[in-house]
Structure formats: structure tokens, C-alpha cells
Structure 1
């Protein structure tokens, strides 16, 4: 019997944790990390099947546009991992700029439509990354 696919929730600001039960119902083994640095350390050791993360922008970021750029850059070397971000609509332009440089497989504005989230994650369970 194979182990369930892993899903890493990176909760920094918005709070993706509200969907943990949904992730588990779909068959994902869920790991939660509150720090991007610790999340990067985890994914370098064992890349998960999916990362779900909060995306936000603050104008006082010194050397980056968003909270996730370091994490996204680290994930570019793990093409089998799918990346899903939740974001505030007000941050759409910044998200577009970041996603033009770094891979994001799906982005859902808040409030997240749970049926859309479920459909996306189910599809990712049944469609191997290499066939996309």
C-alpha cells in the first residue's frame, strides 16, 4: 500500500488552515508550517505533492514583493510539486508580477470557493504532474 500524497500548508497571514479537514478528506497527508524558512527546509528534504500557501504583499518588504518569493524560488527545482496560493484580491497585480517569474500552478482569491478548491485538488490527485 502506498502512502498518501503529502500536502504542506504554509500559514503566514491569511490562514489556509481552515481547509485542513478538506485536504484530509481528499486523501492528503497534511503537514502545517507557520514559517516560510522552515517550510523551505522541509521541502528541500522531502518535496510534497502539493503546497498550499498564503500570498500577501506589504509595501515595506525591502528586497521582495511578497512573502512567498523565497519559497517559490526553492520550489522551482521540484517540478512535481504543485503550488496553490490564496490571496487577497487587492494583491492581484503583485501576484501577477510574481507568477510571471516563478511558477504558481493555481491561485484562488479570498474568500476561497470550497468547491473549486476541492475540484482542483481532486484533479491533482488523479493527474500525474508529468502528464500536464
Structure 2
């Protein structure tokens, strides 16, 4: 049986490694450190779940956040993937705007708690 794939986008980091949690839930985990690498990986793979950090930077000229390009690619390559966003509370208003255009399955605010992330994975599993 093929394992379900889970893509993790870690651009900033600074929090615990949740790979063991994902593996306990029977996911084959791919970790990348840029949206471009995530997009390239998704051309060949169809993740069931994508876990990605969200941040906003005033220097982004054509978008509001780091994730919009990734979310657009997900719509194209694997529209049924469940997206879980890791976010600092101050970016929540920006995420709310992004969520008007893109589907987000769940949000986990910093400080990250494994229990919250695990409850979302259990919801994905149904």
C-alpha cells in the first residue's frame, strides 16, 4: 500500500519538528524550504496534506503573503489536498483575506501545540 504524502513547507522554522507526528499518522513526509521547491515537488506528487507557515511582508509586490503562489499551484495540481497553516497571531487578518480566495483546512497559531496539529490530522483522516 502506498503511503499518503504530506508536504511540509518550512521557510522560517524555529519550532519543533513534527515529522514524527506525521509519520505516526502514516504519512510519507517531504520537507521543503521554499514555495518554488514545493511547486516543483507537486508537479510529480499529489499530497493529501500540506502543512505550511504563513507570513506577510510589505515588500511582497504582487501578493499579500508567502502562500498565495503555493495555494494557486495546489488548486491546479491537487485541489483535494488539505492545507494546514502555521501562523503567528498578528498575521491572522491577512490570512482571513487569503482565505476568501483559497481553501484552508485548518490553522494552528503559535505557540504551536502538537495536540492541535494532531487533531487536524485526525479530522483529515475522517
SS at match of 2:64: coil
Contact in 2 for aligned 1:9/1:17 (Cα 8 Å): no
Q: How many residues align?
A: 125
Contact in 2 for aligned 1:16/1:52 (Cα 8 Å): no
Q: Residue 79 of structure 2 aligns with which residue? A: 79
* Residue 35 (structure 1) aligned with residue 34 (structure 2): yes
SS at match of 1:18: coil
SS at match of 1:31: strand
TM-score, structure 2 normalization: 0.91
2:13 & 2:109 partners in 1: Cα distance? 11
Deviation at 1:44, TM superposition (A): 2.3
* Residue 59 (structure 1) aligned with residue 83 (structure 2): no
Unaligned runs of 5+ in 1: 128-132
Contact in 1 for aligned 2:48/2:80 (Cα 8 Å): yes
Deviation at 1:115, TM superposition (A): 1.1
Deviating beyond 6 angstroms after TM superposition, the runs of 4 or more aligned structure 1 residues are none
Contact in 1 for aligned 2:15/2:112 (Cα 8 Å): no
SS at match of 1:61: coil
Compare the two structures and name the one with the higher helix fraction: 1
Deviation at 1:21, TM superposition (A): 1.1
Give CA deviations for 1:11-46 in whole Å, capped at 9, x if unaligned: 111456621111111211111111111101111221
Contact in 2 for aligned 1:84/1:105 (Cα 8 Å): yes
Contact in 2 for aligned 1:16/1:53 (Cα 8 Å): no
Deviation at 1:94, TM superposition (A): 0.3
Q: Residue 5 of structure 2 aligns with which residue? A: 6
1:59 & 1:90 partners in 2: Cα distance? 14
* Residue 25 (structure 1) aligned with residue 2 (structure 2): no
